[in-house]
Chain A
Amino acid sequence: MIILNNISKRYLTKNGERVVLNPTSLKIPSNEHIAILGRNGAGKSTLLRMIAGVEQPDQGKIVRLAHLSWPIGFGGALHNALTGRQNVEFTARINSVDIEEATQYVEDFSELGKYLDEPVSTYSAGMRSRLAFGLSLSIDFDCYLIDEAISTGDKWFREKAALAFDERRQTSGVLFVSHNPGTVKRFCDKGLVLVESRLVPFSDLDEAIDFYNYGLLK
C-alpha cells in the first residue's frame, strides 16, 4: 500500500509557477495493476518519482508500506560511465541482493552478450531499456513503478519482456505511467488519471480511459 497523505507539488518555471499536483490524499494499493494516465507534461513522471521517493513533495507525506522499485524508464537509473555489469553490481549492492544471481539474471534476460562489459554510454536506446528492464526484474519488488518502458526494444525483446513481466505481475503490483491508453490496457485493470493537477482514481480502467479521452464520467 502507498499512502499519499495530503501531498502537493509545484514547479517554478520561467513563466511562473506550475502546479503539478494539488493537495491530494489517496491510498494506492500496491498489489494491484494500476495505470497512471495523463497528457505529456501533466506531471505523471514527477508523480511516479515522488512515489518512488526520488523526489519529495512540497508538502504532505508519502508512506510506502511495500517494497517499491525505482521508476523504471528509459534507463534513468543507469550510470553512463559504468559498464552494464557494474551497474548491475551497484544496484544489487544497494538493494542487498546477491550480486552473482542478479548478474546471471540480467545476462540471461537482456541478451546483451559481450556488450554487458561496455560502458552504458555506448548503448543504443534499445540496449539501455533491455538492461534497465532486466535489472529491475532481477530484484523482487512488491510493486514495480514503470514509466513507459515496456514499449521499447525490438519485437522479440518486447514479447519476451511482456511475458516476463506478465509472470512477475502475478505476484507483484504495478504502477504504469503512460499517455497512451492502448498500452496500459495490456497490463492494468485500474486507473488513475492526472489532469488539471488532480489525481482522479477509477476502479475500472475503461472508465479511466473514457475520462482521460473524453472527460466522460459515469
Chain B
Amino acid sequence: MIFSQGIRRAIRKGDFKFACELLKQTEAVLQNTPGAIFILGRLYFRVGEYSKALDCFRKVESRFSRQFRYWKFRAKASYSSCDYGDASLSFKKMSDAGSVDEYQQACWAISAYRCGAFQQAFELFDEISDYCDQFFYLRSFRGFADTLANGAKFEPELRMKWPELVVVQGIVQCRQKALLQEEELLTSLLLNSPPGVWGRSFFCGEGSVRGGAPESKAVLGELVAHLEGSLVLNEDWSKRSEVFGLVLARINFSIRKLGQAATLYSQLFQSPEMNFYDYQLAGACCFRAGDLESSKVIFLRQIEWKPDDRHAYFNLALIYDELGELEKALEYAKIQLNIVPRHAGALMWLAEVYIDLDLEILAEQQLVKLVHIKNKNTNRFGLIKKKFEGVFGRPIKPKSTPADFSYIDWSRISVPDEFVLTEDLIDVKPPRKRGENTLKILFRVVGALMLREMTTRFGRNGLGYLWVVIQQIIFISVFALLFEYRGRSLPYGVSMLAFLITGINAFFIFRNTVSQVRNALKSNISLLYYRQVSPFSIYMSRAVLETLTGIFIFGALVGISVVSGEELRMTSVLQVLGILVMLGLFGTCYGLLMATISTFVPSIKHFEQAINRILFFTSGLFYYANELPQGLREILLWNPLLHLIELLRDGFFATYTAEYASLEYVMWWTAGFLFFALILEIVGRKRMLEA
C-alpha cells in the first residue's frame, strides 16, 4: 500500500486531522481497500472521533477478525463511543485472540455491566479484585454488579461509604417485590447516565445544594418529582422498598423540603435499613419541622445504636432545651463534650446557658476553650463573647496570657485517692537498709569527698604534695637565711631549722585549714545536690584532709632535717601530734565562723586578711614567749595561736618549757568559735544555700 508523501509527512508531524483529510481523498479508501480503511479508523480514533472510527473498523471486520490488534483498537473505539455491547464483544474477542491487561479487563467489565450482563461483569471484576480495590469507581461498579447479579446486601458502614449502593439496593428490592414501575424508573435513571453519574450527581448535588449551587438543586428537584410520581405517600411500606423511601427522604432533605423528609422519616424510622446517617438526617428533619418528640425518639434510638455518636448527644441537648428540660439538656451536652471535647456548637450552647444562669467562671471556661478551637461560626461566638462582657462586665482572658487561678475555689478541688495522705502514713519512718547507719554513711561520704578534694588539690598522682613540701621548704629557707644574716641567736640550744619548722609550718596548718574550710561550701556547692552530702560532711572532709596534710608536711620536713644531719629529738611525740591536731581544729572552727559570717557580711574577708597578717607576727613564729618583755607578752598572750605554738615547742624541745601557755585557754576559744559558727550557720543556712 502506497501513501502519498503528504500523508506520511502529516503523520510524522503528528497532524492526524490533516492526515485523515488527505487519506479520505485517496483512491484506496474510496475503493474500500481494507488496509486503508483500518488506518483511517485508527486516525479517526487518534483525533477523538470514536464513532467514525468504529464505523471504519466494522467495515473491515471480515478482513481482520482474527487479529488481536484489530480487536484491541475496536474495543477501545467502541468503549470510547459508549457502544458497550460492541465493546463487550470486542474485549471478549480480544481476550480470545490474545490477552487483556487489568485496565482493559476493567473496561470490559464496565461494558458488560452497562449492557446489563451483571453476572459477567461481577465475574470479570472478581478476577481483578486487587486492581479494583485501588479505585473507588471500580469498587463501586463491582458493588453494583454484585448487588444486581446476586442481590448482595451491603453492611451499613459500606453503604455509608458508597452512597450509590443504597440506590442500587433499592432497585434490587423493588425487583424482588416486582414493583416494576419504580424499578424501571430508577434503572433507566441509572443506566442512561454516564458511569456512576446518577448516584454521584445525587450526592454531589446534595453537597452543592448545601454549598448553594442553584443548578444542582434544580436537577434534584426534577429527580424528586420523577420519584414522587411513582410513589404515593402514606401507603403500605411493606409493599414498597424502604430503601427507596429513604433515598427520597434524603433527596427531600437536600433540597430543603424538610416537612416531606420528616414525614417520610417518621414513617420509616423503625426500618432496619436506616443507617446512622439516616438517623441524623431524620432527627434533624423532625427537629426543624418542629416535631420535637419524634426527633427525641429518633436520636435516643441513634445513641442506643451507636453510643459514641459524635453529634447525637448535642442534638438531644438542644431538643431537651427546647422542651424546657434544662437539666437533662446540660447532662447530654456534657456527655457530648466528653466524646468530642472540642465540639464548638456544644461549647457555645453551654457558654450561653451558663451566662443565662449567671455562672461566670463556667461560662468563661467554655469561651476560653472556644478561643483555641478553629470555629466556623465566629459570628455567634462574637455575640456570646459580647454577651459575657455585658453580663459580667469584663472580657474573657485572651489566649496568650496564662490561666488566672485567682477565682478558683480551692476547697472544691478534690485530691485523687492515690495522692491522699492517710492518717496511718503520717508517722511512717523510712526503712533503714541493713548495715547502713548514719555514721557509716557519713564516713563513706566524707571519704569520697576527701578523695575528690585530693584530686583537685594535689593532682591524681600526688605530685602536688611534693610541690607543697618544696614550697614550704623554700619558705623556711628564706627565713632561715634572713635570720642567719641578721645574726639571730637562739636560746635553749635549738637549731634554727627546727625552730622555724615548729613556728612557720605549724602556723601553716592553721592558716590552710582556715582558708580551706572557709571556702569549702562555695567550691562544693554542686555536690549538695546529692542527698547524702551535707554541708557538715563537706566541712569535715576539708578539715580532716587539711589537718592530715599539714601533719604530713610537718613530719616530712622534720624527716628531711633529720636526714640532712640536724639533731632533732622530740621529747613528747604525743604532745606534738596533739597540738598539731589542735591547730587544725582551731583553724577549722575559726574558718567555720568566717564562712558563716561571710554569708551575712561578704566583705569580712578583707578584715580576715588583715587579721592573718597580724597573727603571722604575733603568734611566736620567730620568738619564744619566755623571751618577751612582760608588758608585750601579756598582750600577745591573748592570741591563742601563741599558746599552741608555745605548747608545740614545749613538746618538741627538751630544753624548753612553755611557762605561760595554757591549752584550756585555746579550747575555750575553739569552743567559742564553734558555738558562734553553729548559731550563725543555723540562722543563715537558708541564705547560704540560696546564694
B689–A82 CB distance below 8 A: no
* Cβ–Cβ < 8 Å partners of B448 in chain A: 90, 93-94
Q: Which residue of B lies closest to A49 (CB)?
A: B529
A5–chain B nearest beta-carbon distance, Å: 6
A–B pairs, 23, beta carbons within 8 Å:
A1-B425, A5-B421, A26-B421, A27-B418, A27-B422, A29-B418, A81-B523, A82-B455, A90-B451, A91-B530, A93-B448, A94-B445, A95-B532, A195-B405, A196-B405, A198-B410, A211-B403, A212-B403, A214-B365, A215-B404, A216-B365, A216-B368, A216-B369
* Cβ–Cβ < 8 Å partners of A80 in chain B: 526
Query: Is B239 in contact with chain A by the CB < 8 A criterion?
Result: no
Q: Which residue of B lies closest to A83 (CB)?
A: B455
Query: Is A171 in contact with chain B by the CB < 8 A criterion?
Result: no
Q: Among the listed A27, A90, A211, which residue makes an inter-chain contact with B421, where contact means beta carbons less than 8 Å apart?
A: A27
B434–chain A nearest beta-carbon distance, Å: 13
Q: Among the listed A77, A89, A201, which residue makes an inter-chain contact with B419, where contact means beta carbons less than 8 Å apart?
A: A201
In the complex, per-residue mask of A17-31: 1 if CB is within 8 Å of any chain B CB, else 0: 000000001111100
Bound together, the chains give a CA A63 to CA B426 distance in angstroms of 9
* Cβ–Cβ < 8 Å partners of A198 in chain B: 410
> Count of chain A residues with Cβ under 8 Å from any Cβ of B?
54
Query: Is B444 in contact with chain A by the CB < 8 A criterion?
Result: yes
Query: Is A116 in contact with chain B by the CB < 8 A criterion?
Result: no
- Interface residue SS majority, chain B: helix
* Cβ–Cβ < 8 Å partners of B527 in chain A: 77, 79, 90
* Cβ–Cβ < 8 Å partners of B532 in chain A: 94-95
Given known contacts A63-B429, A77-B527, A94 and B415 CB-to-CB distance under 8 angstroms: no
Task: In the A-B complex, list the 8 residue pairs whose CB atoms are closest, starting with the nearest.
Answer: A77-B529, A215-B403, A53-B531, A93-B448, A203-B416, A201-B419, A25-B421, A27-B421
* Cβ–Cβ < 8 Å partners of B413 in chain A: 200, 217
Query: Is B690 in contact with chain A by the CB < 8 A criterion?
Result: yes
Q: Among the listed A63, A71, A81, A200, which residue makes an inter-chain contact with B456, where contact means beta carbons less than 8 Å apart?
A: A81
B421–A4 CB distance below 8 A: yes
A114–chain B nearest beta-carbon distance, Å: 16
B418–A70 CB distance below 8 A: no
Q: Among the listed A71, A96, A217, which residue makes an inter-chain contact with B444, where contact means beta carbons less than 8 Å apart?
A: A96
> Count of chain B residues with Cβ under 8 Å from any Cβ of A?
49
Bound together, the chains give a CA A215 to CA B430 distance in angstroms of 36
Given known contacts A195-B405, A215-B403, A78 and B526 CB-to-CB distance under 8 angstroms: yes
In the complex, per-residue mask of B398-434: 1 if CB is within 8 Å of any chain A CB, else 0: 0000111110101011011111111001101111000
Query: Is A123 in contact with chain B by the CB < 8 A criterion?
Result: no
Q: Which residue of A lies closest to B369 (CB)?
A: A214
Bound together, the chains give a CA A82 to CA B529 distance in angstroms of 15
* Cβ–Cβ < 8 Å partners of A1 in chain B: 425
A217–B418 CB distance below 8 A: no
A5–B430 CB distance below 8 A: no
* Cβ–Cβ < 8 Å partners of A65 in chain B: 428, 430-431
A193–chain B nearest beta-carbon distance, Å: 9
B198–chain A nearest beta-carbon distance, Å: 47
Bound together, the chains give a CA A70 to CA B529 distance in angstroms of 6
Given known contacts A76-B526, A196-B405, A64 and B416 CB-to-CB distance under 8 angstroms: no
B690–A214 CB distance below 8 A: no
Q: Which residue of A lies closest to B533 (CB)?
A: A94
B533–A217 CB distance below 8 A: no
Query: Is B447 in contact with chain A by the CB < 8 A criterion?
Result: yes
A116–chain B nearest beta-carbon distance, Å: 14
Bound together, the chains give a CA A198 to CA B415 distance in angstroms of 12
Query: Is B179 in contact with chain A by the CB < 8 A criterion?
Result: no
* Cβ–Cβ < 8 Å partners of B529 in chain A: 52, 54, 70-71, 76-77
B405–A215 CB distance below 8 A: yes
Query: Is B528 in contact with chain A by the CB < 8 A criterion?
Result: yes
Q: Among the listed B369, B405, B444, B456, which residue makes an inter-chain contact with A93, where contact means beta carbons less than 8 Å apart?
A: B444
